[in-house]
């Protein structure tokens, strides 16, 4: 004879049926992630934290596999692969993507951010969300804002101590019209090149200089082929954590949630290590023989003044909405 089920057991069965077991929410996944630097870079710390998080939250199902040194392409080409769905994820600076999303060019405007706190407030707030909302339309989902950081200038010709010292220096810049125009405005010969080509261009003296955050200068061993480092701090590069929309749409809500949550865990780690290691990198660059100099505040002001024209000249391609949003938010966080 079958015993009738007790009400409590019935309740438990009903409850269980309503909740999907974890095995249905999470499939075996292996996400391939691309970046242009080598794994010792703070990007590596961010990805390690994100990967450990996804593995743990998915009961061991969701793995992240990192590819370094641009092995799966540079910022732009890897992003194209992410758009088509032949690659899952890329960590990329915003600057090489302005041909796809012109509004992102706002972050390339010279001297936009004064410090990291401002950048964090903008990118983690309303402005960052506005840009992220634009991205699914071009086939990518931005999981978080990490950072490349503040950019400084190196070259093999001379220390840059005043605005005029940029003149005649052949500078590698990112493939980005605002960067090209900025260095042209300073009188440099601006040569756009993909990141993977920079070391050999410097080594063969195809170009005299380049600009990147300290961590990148150290990570890519540019100090081997560059003598002078000038602390220009002329721009801040945000990093996008871009996931393929094509692949994203095939994931369960639980899997999507884990990726978002864990990208935020990665963000905390990546920004922390990037900022900690930045000072260390600068010291290492000095120790490896680079001659480091600052530009006086008065000369920095002259450089800034010269470059004010860039804001207006590129407002059309960036678009008024993005420009007003970012400049308005900056005013707000500065309390001015």
If the CB atoms of residues 96 and 128 are measured against ligand TF8, the closer one turns out to be 96
| Interaxial angle between packed helices 253-287 and 116-123, expressed in degrees from 0 to 180 and rounded to the nearest 10 | 170
What separation in angstroms does the CA of 168 have from each of 11, 132, 285?
79, 38, 25
Q: Give yes or no for residue 267 binding ligand TF8 (CB under 6 A).
A: no
* Binding to ligand TF8 in span 243-262, by CB under 6 A: none
Which listed range, 32-40, 77-85, 155-163, 270-278, lies at the site for ligand TF8 (CB under 6 A)? 32-40
Residue nearest to ligand TF8 (CB): 36
Q: How far is the CB of 75 from ligand TF8 (least distance, A)?
A: 5
* Binding-site size, ligand TF8 (CB under 6 A): 12
Q: Of the two residues 58 and 175, which places its CB atom closer to ligand TF8 in the complex? A: 175
Out of 26, 195, 222, 223, point to the residue binding ligand TF8 (CB under 6 A): 195
Nearer to ligand TF8, 235 or 265 (CB): 235
Stretch that binds ligand TF8, among 4-12, 30-38, 182-190, 266-274 (CB under 6 A): 30-38
**From the CB of 37, what's the least distance to ligand TF8, in Å?**
5
**Contact by Cβ (8 Å): 100, 295:** no
Q: Per CB under 6 A, which of residues 4..23 are in contact with ligand TF8?
A: none
State the Cα–Cα distance between residues 71 and 311, nearest whole angstrom.
35
Window of 31-39, 176-184, 259-267, 322-330 that interacts with ligand TF8 by CB under 6 A: 31-39
Residue 174 interacts with ligand TF8 (CB under 6 A): yes or no: yes
Kindly state the tokens that stand for 97. Answer: 């993507």
In this complex, which beta carbon is closest to ligand TF8, that of residue 95 or of residue 259?
Answer: 95
Among 45, 58, 216, 232, binds ligand TF8 (CB under 6 A): 216
- Angle 126-134/116-123 helices, nearest 10 degrees? 50
> How far is it, in rounded angstroms, from Cα 62 to Cα 29?
5
The only residue of 32, 36, 222, 234 in contact with ligand TF8, by rule CB under 6 A: 36
Does residue 176 belong to the site contacting ligand TF8 (CB under 6 A)? no
Provide CB contacts within 8 A for 122, sequence distance 6+.
113, 128, 326, 329, 330, 333
Tell me the residue length of the chain: 336
Going by C-beta distance under 8 Å and a sequence separation of 6 or more, which residues neighbour residue 335?
A: none
Tokens of 193: 């090149």
153 near ligand TF8 (CB under 6 A): no
Mark out the alpha helices in the chain (DSSP H runs). 7-18, 22-25, 42-57, 75-84, 116-123, 126-134, 177-185, 198-203, 214-219, 245-248, 253-287, 297-313, 315-318, 320-334
C-beta atoms surrounding 276 within 10 Å? 12
205, burial (CB in 10 Å: exposed 0-12, middle 13-18, buried 19+): exposed
Give the three-state DSSP class for 98.
Answer: coil
Q: Rounded to the nearest whole angstrom, what is the least distance from the CB of residue 314 to ligand TF8 in the complex?
A: 19
Where does this chain touch ligand TF8 (CB under 6 A) — which range of 33-41, 59-67, 119-127, 297-305?
33-41
- Among residues 33 and 310, whose Cβ is nearest to ligand TF8? 33
Residues numbered 97 to 136 that lie near ligand TF8 (CB under 6 A) are: none
State the burial class of residue 159 (Cβ atoms within 10 Å of its Cβ: 0-12, 13-18, 19+). Answer: middle
Site string for ligand TF8, 42-81 (x = CB under 6 A): ---------------------------------x------
Q: Does 154 bind ligand TF8 (CB under 6 A)?
A: no
Q: Tell me which residues touch ligand TF8 (CB under 6 A).
A: 35-37, 75, 92-93, 148, 174, 195, 212, 216, 237
């Amino acid at each position: 004879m079958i015993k009738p089920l007790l009400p409590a057991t019935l309740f438990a069965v009903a409850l269980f049926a309503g909740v999907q077991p974890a095995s249905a929410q999470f499939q075996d996944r292996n996400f391939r992630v691309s970046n242009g630097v080598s794994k010792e870079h703070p990007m590596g710390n961010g990805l390690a934290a994100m990967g450990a998080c996804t593995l743990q939250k998915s009961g061991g199902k969701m793995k992240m596999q990192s590819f370094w040194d641009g092995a799966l392409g540079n910022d732009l080409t890897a992003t194209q692969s992410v758009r088509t769905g032949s690659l899952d994820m890329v960590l990329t600076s915003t600057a090489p993507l302005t041909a796809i999303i012109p509004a992102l060019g706002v972050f390339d405007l010279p001297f936009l951010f004064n410090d990291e706190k401002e950048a964090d407030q903008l990118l983690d707030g309303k402005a960052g969300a506005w840009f992220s909302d634009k991205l699914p339309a071009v086939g990518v989902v931005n999981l978080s804002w990490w950072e490349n950081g503040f950019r400084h200038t190196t070259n093999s010709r001379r220390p840059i101590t005043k605005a005029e010292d940029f003149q005649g220096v052949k500078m590698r810049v990112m493939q980005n019209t605002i960067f090209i125009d900025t260095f042209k405005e300073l009188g440099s010969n601006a040569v756009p090149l993909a990141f993977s080509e920079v070391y050999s261009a410097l080594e063969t003296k195809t170009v005299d200089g380049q600009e990147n955050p300290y961590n990148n200068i150290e990570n890519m061993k540019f100090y081997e082929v560059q003598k002078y480092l000038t602390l220009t701090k002329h721009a801040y590069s945000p990093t996008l954590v871009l996931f393929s929309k094509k692949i994203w749409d095939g994931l369960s809500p639980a899997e999507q949630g884990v990726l978002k949550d864990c990208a935020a865990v990665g963000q905390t780690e990546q920004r922390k290590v990037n900022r900690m290691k930045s000072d260390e990198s600068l010291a290492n660059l000095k120790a490896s023989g680079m001659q480091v100099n600052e530009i006086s505040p008065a000369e920095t002001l002259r450089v800034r003044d010269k470059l004010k024209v860039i804001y207006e000249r590129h407002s059309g391609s960036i678009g008024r909405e993005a420009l007003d949003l970012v400049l308005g938010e900056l005013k707000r966080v500065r309390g001015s």
